[in-house]
Every structure is written in structure tokens, then in C-alpha cells.
Amino acid sequence: MIEFHSVSKKYSADALALQDVSLNIAKGELIFLAGPSGAGKSTLMKMVAAIERPTSGRVIVNGQDIGKLNKASVPFLRRNLGLIFQHQRLLNDRHILANVMLPLIVTSASKGQAEQRARAALDKVGMLDRANALPMELSGGEQQRVAIARAIVNRPQIILADEPTANLDRAAADRVLDALRAFHAVGVTCVISTHDEQVLESAARVIRLEHGHVVGSSVGGAA
């Protein structure tokens, strides 16, 4: 489902984010990307979402070569992805329901259909009772669960979560990870980046990155 073939990414002559990275993520897998800040985790995720393009090598997502993808095709690729960011990037001028409806609105879904599916997504992450609240009225953990609802409302094939538990306390982080595991359990491919070693203890598969290189890949633990 996601393939990296000898991928390198240079932002400038002395800023090498990824170097000769090769990896393969199968459909329905739950993968954790681990490594310190600056290891290249975010760059790798951005390439899957075609936010960045490889300087060399090939990135294949759902059979599409990201390096060769034309500009007009990028939105349609992203509609099959659920993106979750460290800083949730919720729109503060509209309530939670409207935030979760946004991925459906951009695909020209009817308002009624979008609202129905957004409510269902909020219900799945336990946030339906806060549907009419503004993002600023929620805690960090609640905001992250809303971000998950926004990511899954389009029924994506892949969820990319970049440091979703950073800045959250343990209880909130566990709730966020439980929500992501629940979507993995129904067949969604999940790629989660983290530098939280406690999270990795129970991970099924971990890919470790350092200074833009893959330095280790382990399989084991509980999924």
C-alpha cells in the first residue's frame, strides 16, 4: 500500500531530511515511526500525503507514484488519507461539527450527508456531546480526538498521524491511541509517528529513523 524505494529528500544543500530510505507498509498494517526530533518522521509522512516530493527515489501510495503525480491529482489522493497533526489544526472560528464536516464538504457531499457522517465520526471518538463547542473550549486530548474524527470521516484507506500524543498527558494519549487502534482493527492502514517509548512497547511494528536513515525495524508486541 505504501512503498519507499531508495528515497532521499534534500531541503537544501546541507539539510538532508531523508537518505536512501526503503520500506514497505502493507494494507491494514499498524506502523509506528520512532526517532528523535529531526529524524525524518514528519518528512516521510508528508511524502505519503504528497505535501513533499522526493528529491530522488520513488514513493508509491495506493499504486500512485508521488513523484510523478500531477498537481490536479493530489487532492484526490488526499481524500483517501486521514491526516492527524501534532497541533490538531482545527479551525477556531467554527464549532466542532463544522470542523469534522470539512473533509466531506470539500468533496462536494451534501450538507445533510456531511452532518450525519460527521456526527457518526464524533460518536466513534466519544466527542458527539461536544459537537457544538468551539475548539478553544476543548482540552488538548479532546481536540486530538476531534482531529481523529475529522481524519476518519471520509472513511480513508490510510491514517497518517504525526506525533498525535505529543503534549498530551498519559490518560489522554492512551485514549487517542485506543481510537487509532480501533480504526486499525477494522482494516484501516495506520502510520503513527512518535518519540514516546512507552507507546512503542505495545507496538506491532516499529520503524526507527535517525538523521534521515532507517536504523532499525522491529516486529512484535501487541497490536
Partner 1 sequence: MNIWFRQHRFALGAAFGQVRKAPGSFLFNVLVVAVALALPFAGVTLLDNVRPLSQELSVDPEISLFMKPDSSREQAQALDPKLRGILAGSHAKVSFVPREQALDNLRAKSGLSDVLQTLGDNPLPDSYVMKLEGFATNGADAARVDTIADAMRGLPGVDSVQVDSAWIKRLAALLNVLRLALLLLAVTLGVVVIAVVFNTIRLQVLTQREEIAVSKLLGATDNFIHRPFYYTGALLGLCAGAVALGAVALALRPLNTAIAEFARLYASEFQLTVLHPLGLAGLLAISAGLGLVGAMLSVQRHLARLH
Q: Which residue number, 50 or 172, has a Cβ lying nearer to partner 1?
A: 50
**Nearest approach, Cβ of 51 to partner 1 (angstroms)?**
7
SS (H, E, C) the chain: CEEEEEEEEEEECCEEEEEEEEEEECCCCEEEEECCCCCCHHHHHHHHCCCCCCCEEEEEECCEEHHHCCHHHHHHHHCCEEEECCCCCCCCCCCHHHHHHHHHHCCCCCHHHHHHHHHHHHHHCCCHHHCCCCHHHCCHHHHHHHHHHHHHCCCCCEEEEECCCCCCCHHHHHHHHHHHHHHHHCCCEEEEEECCHHHHCCCCEEEEEECCEEEEEEECCCC
**Nearest approach, Cβ of 96 to partner 1 (angstroms)?**
14
**Nearest approach, Cβ of 99 to partner 1 (angstroms)?**
9
The C-alpha atoms of residue 190 and residue 182 are separated, in whole angstroms, by 10
Q: Which residue number, 11 or 76, has a Cβ lying nearer to partner 1?
A: 76
Contacting partner 1 (CB under 8 A), which of 13, 15, 72, 136? 72
For residue 87, state whether it binds partner 1 (rule: CB under 8 A): no
For residue 117, state whether it binds partner 1 (rule: CB under 8 A): no
Report the site for partner 1 in 2-41 (rule: CB under 8 A): none
Choose the binding region for partner 1 from 107-115, 128-136, 169-177, 195-203 (rule: CB under 8 A): 107-115
Report the site for partner 1 in 131-170 (rule: CB under 8 A): 150, 154
Q: Which residue number, 147 or 206, has a Cβ lying nearer to partner 1?
A: 147
Q: Which residue number, 36 or 75, has a Cβ lying nearer to partner 1?
A: 75
By the criterion CB under 8 A, which residues form the site for partner 1? 49, 51, 71-72, 75-76, 78-79, 83, 89, 91, 93, 102-103, 105-108, 110, 150, 154
